[in-house]
Amino acid sequence: MILDIKELDIKENEPLKNHSTFEIGGLARYFVVAKNKEEILGAIKFAEDKNLPYFVFGSGSNILFGDDGYNGVAIKINDSKFVIRDSNIIANSGTLLSQIIMAATEAGLSGLEWGIGIPGTIGGCVAGNCGAFGKCISESIKKIKTLDKEYSKEECGFCYRDSKFKNIDNKKVILEIELELKKDNKEKIKQEIKNNLMQRKDRIPPQPSIGCIFKNPKPLAAGKLIEECGLKGAKVGDAQISGLHADIIVNLGNAKAEDVLELIKLCKEKVKEKFKIDLEEEIVII
């Protein structure tokens, strides 16, 4: 069932910076918050009827929105229901990863402790196969449901910080994720979470950001390469390479996307020049 367009709360010229953890981004020609499958389908039909492009996103924690905005329909999923069944968690894609980690902990379910402190929704996390401490979300995936079909873990095309759902032109909109976790001692899980938070504390800057900009060219770390090029603290406008973690660019207040792109270009050029390594972006750029 597709909702009547009149039932959707469609905004015009909505600032995308208001929907980004970076607090950067121009205006979306149209903007819709979709709270369920029917509203997502309704928003897509609205875009198609107007012959406009569209993209679907969650919390905007891994996306750099351009200064010129988006001449189409931005569809933000805000559907955060989830249930726990035995050792599995079935979550709608708009659920925050942090919510799921806390619920899993209280249920004595282990497997997601590495994700503590990572912002964003489970849908975005799955699309980008996010991870930390040598682990990633794909390790806990059982199956994924999109608008038109169900995918087993093996069909998702998971690889390092990527999947078949990550491309911004991808129309395989994730609706629901089933995670398969393991029963464990609740206090042990809490202790691991505490340890992970302690390790993160001195590496995550307080200013607005979208997390790590580049994938690690394994076995090396992108942040370490950028640091060795002497780029920690480098600034363009109000965008700055963090002094805490060189793979993170922060917004000092009024940064523009073009400032961030200049720093990305600088990092790639200097790392290529010094180490003969091509850095690849982990973030999505719109």
pLDDT tens, 65-77?
999 999 999 999 9
The answer to whether residues 130 and 115 touch, using CB atoms and an 8 Å cutoff, is yes
Q: Tokens 């198609």 sit at which residue?
A: 48
Task: List % helix, strand, coil for the chain (3-state, nearest 5).
Answer: 30, 30, 40
Q: Where are the domains of the chain?
A: 5-77, 82-201, 209-285
Q: Kind of pairing, strands 141-146 and 150-152?
A: antiparallel
The answer to whether residues 196 and 116 touch, using CB atoms and an 8 Å cutoff, is yes
State the pLDDT at residue 177. 98
Q: Is 75 exposed, middle or buried (0-12, 13-18, 19+ CB in 10 A)?
A: buried
Query: How far apart are the C-alpha atoms of 239 and 236, rounded to whole Å?
Result: 5
Q: What's the mean pLDDT when you consider all of the chain?
A: 95
Task: Single out the residue of 114, 119, 17 nearest to residue 67, CA to CA.
Answer: 17
CA distances, 60 to each of 45, 66, 67 (Å): 22, 13, 15
State the pLDDT at residue 169. 73
Q: Tokens 């393991």 sit at which residue?
A: 182
Mean pLDDT, residues 247-266 taken together: 98
State the pLDDT at residue 3. 60
| Lowest mean per-residue pLDDT among 171-185, 192-206, 269-283 | 192-206
pLDDT at 7 exceeding the cut of 90: no
Query: Hey, how many other C-beta atoms are within 10 angstroms of the C-beta on 32?
Result: 25
pLDDT category at 175 given cuts 50, 70, 90 is: very high
Instruction: Indicate the length of the chain as a whole number.
Output: 286
Q: Domain 82-201, CATH 3.30.465.10 — does that match?
A: yes
State the pLDDT at residue 201. 81
Taking the domain 209-285, which CATH number applies?
3.90.78.10
Topology of the domain covering 5-77? 3.30.43
pLDDT at 212 exceeding the cut of 70: yes
